[in-house]
């Protein structure tokens, strides 16, 4: 069976980019703003914390795949 790790990494990267684009859309931000109210000001902070965590996990997983 061929190594499926590069395919998985590519799929996860595509999913990350799709989610990033979705959450960056103005309509989505307006939807969150209407539901969260005054706490929406923390949206970017939470978004960036989550993004940094996901990028760290992706980098670590990629390194693990390369090292076997």
pLDDT digits (tens, 9 = 90+) for 12-46: 889 888 988 888 899 998 998 899 899 888 888 88
- Output the pLDDT for position 26: 93
For residue 6, is it within any domain? no
Q: How far is CA 9 from CA 1, 21, 41, 64, in A?
A: 17, 18, 33, 11
For residue 43, is it within any domain? yes
What is the count of structural domains for the chain?
A: 1
Is the pTM for the entire model greater than 0.75? no
- Output the pLDDT for position 68: 61
For residue 55, is it within any domain? yes
For residue 58, is it within any domain? yes
For residue 62, is it within any domain? yes
| Portion of the chain with pLDDT greater than 90, in percent | 12
- The boundaries of the domain holding residue 32 are 20-67
Better-predicted residue by pLDDT, 68 or 56: 56
For residue 4, is it within any domain? no
d(CA 67, CA 60) in angstroms, rounded, equals 11
């Amino acid at each position: 069976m061929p190594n499926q790790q590069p395919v998985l990494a590519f799929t996860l990267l595509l999913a990350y980019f799709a989610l990033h684009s979705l959450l960056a859309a103005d309509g989505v931000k307006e939807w969150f703003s209407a539901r969260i109210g005054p706490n929406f000001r923390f949206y970017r902070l939470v978004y960036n914390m989550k993004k940094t965590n996901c990028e760290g996990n992706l980098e670590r997983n990629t390194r693990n795949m390369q090292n076997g």
